[in-house]
Each structure stands twice: as structure tokens, then as C-alpha cells.
Amino acid sequence: MPNPPIPKNPYDFVPFEPNLPHRPCTPETQGIYSSNLFTGEMICLLRTETPLFIHKQQGSDRRQFYRRSGRIVIPASSLKGMIRSVAEVVSNSCLRIVAMQYSGNQPGYQMSSAYRNGHFSTYRGTGISPQQLEAMHAPIPLVAEETGPNCPPDCGVVPNGHWMCQDRDNLCFCCALFGMTERSAQSGEEEKAAPLSGRIGFSEATPAGDNNTLSIGVPHRVGPPHPYHRSFYFDASGRLLGRKFYYHHSNYQGTLKDYKNAGHRDWITVEAQTGKFKFSVRFHNLREDELAVLAYSLMLENDLRHHLGYGKPFGLGTVQVTISEMRLMHFVGGKPNRYLGYEEASTLTIWNPENPASWRDKGKQLWTERQGANQAYTKFKEILKYPQTQNFRYPTFGWFRRSPNRSAALAEYQRNPNQRI
């Protein structure tokens, strides 16, 4: 009986779009509420498709779910990060997180420990020395030398002007919407940070009903491909392949069994949750396109799911977000009848109910009709498709040690089963 095919790598990249539009963040969108813009809130329901785990601290072989005042919750920061990562793709915004990891020559940031001063660190757990790593991978250019308050259009590994925004007067879509921190330094002075508040606020998510608690063993320190395995992160010219997302799995239990059968010895036990969580998103002074992108990034399409929390490479953290209620502030004579705070809204506030699905569809239309967006949209749909028909697994240490595999491109590994032997 032939052996089953070796699974694909659990993550892949959504390619960059050709152009990155920037626009100024005007004072009008940051000031008092405007009747020409949209202010309101969405009540959202998050439902787990596979067990979800978010930890508060590391360092133990048994890890509890995040709690506040003794109660299980999903932090607002986790929700915001999940939604922003999608919105950045949908709106073709800057590459905020990854840009910080590869900011070798950018003032105010430190390079990832994987690559310092032109040298790769040890590939932990493989027995491969730094000298062997140097032979496996040639150093790659990080960013252009000409850096300043604004990164030039071509920043080495991050192409086409997708470098993280640093100037409040020249922001991408998501930095203007979610907020950012402007950093600048005069010669001989310390760096100064000037934060720009976002116009979206997330509450933490609390259980909505009787959720279940599961103790699940998951692999620890599996040694996946990191940026220093350049062919799994960069193309032949040294440019980043795109924005990283994890596939959903057809059966997370099957994935965990595969790791156990492969002899992986380092495991931890996590306190995972299944069930439903409720949270709210409040927004103020959003343009129509901003509200549409936000609605799409929250709901996604019916055959797509979000990924949240720990264990995404093993099939954990597949979740669906729906908007159960969406309402916009009613204006009278060009002014809101009552200001909306971030506490409980008064019953005196007048709201106009909205259909969230129609706003979601507007967001999809904005993306799919944008010139040059088709390749990114197609790959995004492929990775976040749910339900899936297959499981995924990292390449083994043995695979990396075999000489022909050291320069194998991720695309070829994913496409050709013979490459994964």
C-alpha cells in the first residue's frame, strides 16, 4: 500500500499588489463627529470551528486560557490584530508587522534575531552550525541605504512602497483607520514618537453561552521554516513573498496525530475553548470605503474563516465572525443628537439600523474591482477557505538537512508532492 502524500506547509503568502496608494489623514477625520462620515457600532459574534487557545503567559507545560478578573475573555488587542491583518490585505496597505521584523537599517527598530549584521543565527534543534547556515543561504539585502522619515518606494525585501508608514501626513489606508505611531529623530537627538489614534475601538470578547473547555496536547518547538530559510520567505531576488497566512485544516486531530506518529517529543497542554464569544466594534468618522472594508474584514465571505490565537499551524483557532447588529448614529441638523462614548450608549441615542451583509459585499467589491488585485484576492481565498479538504504540516528537520532541499522554493514545495519527500 503506497504511503499517503506528505502534507503541504501550513502557511503561505498572499502576494503584494502592484501599487500602494497613500493618502493624508486630514484633521477632519480625527476631530468631532461629522455628518458626512459614518459613526456607529457593530455587535459581533465569534464562533469557534476548531478549539481556540489564547494564553496570557508562557513558560509552563500546562497553559491556561487568557483571563481577566478570573473570567475567560479574548483580549481586544487579539481581535484588533486579527481584523487588521485581513484589512491590510483587503485595502492594499503597508506591511506593518513584518516590516518591523526586517528593519535592519531603519532608525528606531531592531532587526529580528534571525538575521543580524548580515549573518543568520543558529537553526535551533537541527544540529546545523552557523557556518553551515551561511553555506545554505547567502545573505540577503534588507532595506535600501537611503532611509529617512519616509522609506523610499523600494525598500529591499519589502517591495513597491509597502514599507510601514512613518509619516502621519502620508498614511496607507489601514494606518489612517486603525492608528499608528510616527517616529522621527533629528541628528544627535533621541527618537520621538507621536501616536495617531485610530477611529475603531474593539471590546474584549466574552463567552456567549455555555462554552466547553478542552485540554489539548500540541507540539512545542517544532522548528518550522523561519525567515533565515530564505527560499520559504523570499523569492530569487531576495524580496518577501507577500503577507503570511495559515491554512485551515480539514481535521486538526488528524494533524496532531501526524506529529505524534512522526515522533515529535516536545509537547505542551493547553486549555482551549469551543463555543461562542460576543464583542463590539465602535467606530467614528469613517468614510464609506473604510466602513465597507471594516465590515468585510470582520465577516469575510461565507466560505472563508479567520485564524486566531495559538496553534494555527496545527489547525487550532479557526473561527467565524458574524455581525449580528450594525447601527449608525443619527444626525440632526448636521450634528449628532448625542455624543457616543466608549461606555454603554444611552437609550436616548438615535440609531439607524444597517444591513451588515450589504456593507461586507461593498468591501469585497472595492477589493475585487481594484486594478491589479486579482492575484492577491485569489490566493487569499485559497488560504482561508473553509472547510478544507486536507491537513498541513511543517517540513521535517531531516528534509531541511538534505542538500537539494536547502534552496527549494516554497511555491515548488507546495505544488510538487515529490519535492516534499
Predicted TM-score (pTM) of the model is: 0.83
HEC-encoded secondary structure of 73-130: CECHHHHHHHHHHHHHHHCCCCCHHHHHHCCCCCCCCCCCCCEECCEECCECCCCECH
Q: Which residues contact 376 (CB under 8 A, 6 or more apart)?
A: 14, 15, 16, 17, 89, 92, 242
User: Worst-scoring range by mean pLDDT, 65-79, 143-157, 334-348?
Assistant: 143-157
**161 backbone φψ class: left, alpha, beta (φ>0; ψ -120 to 50):** left
Report helix, strand and coil shares of the chain as percent, to nearest 5: 25, 25, 45
Write down the pLDDT at residue 163.
81
Cα–Cα dist 255/352, whole Å: 46
In the block, cell 479538504 appears at 389
Cα–Cα dist 247/258, whole Å: 16
As given in the structure block, the three cell numbers for residue 405 are 532541499
Amino acid at site 132: Q
pLDDT, mean of residues 256-284: 94
Reported as a single tens digit per residue, the pLDDT across 190-208 is 556 778 889 999 999 999 9
Amino acid at site 247: Y
Reported as a single tens digit per residue, the pLDDT across 293-307 is 999 999 999 999 999
Exposure string (b/e) for 369-391, b if CB count within 10 Å is 16 or more? ebeebeebbebbeebbebebeeb
List, in sequence order, every residue forming a beta bridge with 354; answer none if it has no partner.
326
Q: Which residues contact 89 (CB under 8 A, 6 or more apart)?
A: 14, 243, 376, 380
Does residue 31 register a pLDDT over 70?
Answer: no
Reported as a single tens digit per residue, the pLDDT across 37-81 is 899 999 999 999 999 999 877 667 889 999 999 999 999 999 999
As given in the structure block, the three cell numbers for residue 369 are 474591482
pLDDT, mean of residues 369-395: 96
Reported as a single tens digit per residue, the pLDDT across 89-98 is 999 998 876 5
List, in sequence order, every residue forming a beta bridge with 215; answer none if it has no partner.
271
Asked if 318 contacts 274 with a C-beta cutoff of 8 angstroms, the reply is: no
Write down the pLDDT at residue 148.
34
Asked if 93 contacts 290 with a C-beta cutoff of 8 angstroms, the reply is: no
Asked if 329 contacts 42 with a C-beta cutoff of 8 angstroms, the reply is: no
As given in the structure block, the three cell numbers for residue 269 are 497542554
Q: Which helix (H) or strand (E) holds 356?
A: helix 356-368
Distances (CA, A) of 148 to 11, 106, 110, 414: 33, 8, 15, 38
Q: What is the CA radius of gyration of the chain?
A: 23
Q: Where are the alpha helices (DSSP H) in 231-343?
A: 252-261, 288-299
Asked if 21 contacts 173 with a C-beta cutoff of 8 angstroms, the reply is: yes
Cα–Cα dist 21/233, whole Å: 24
Return the higher-pLDDT residue of 256 and 157. 256
Q: Which residues contact 107 (CB under 8 A, 6 or more apart)?
A: 147, 183, 185, 191
Secondary structure letter of residue 221 according to DSSP: -
**179 backbone φψ class: left, alpha, beta (φ>0; ψ -120 to 50):** left
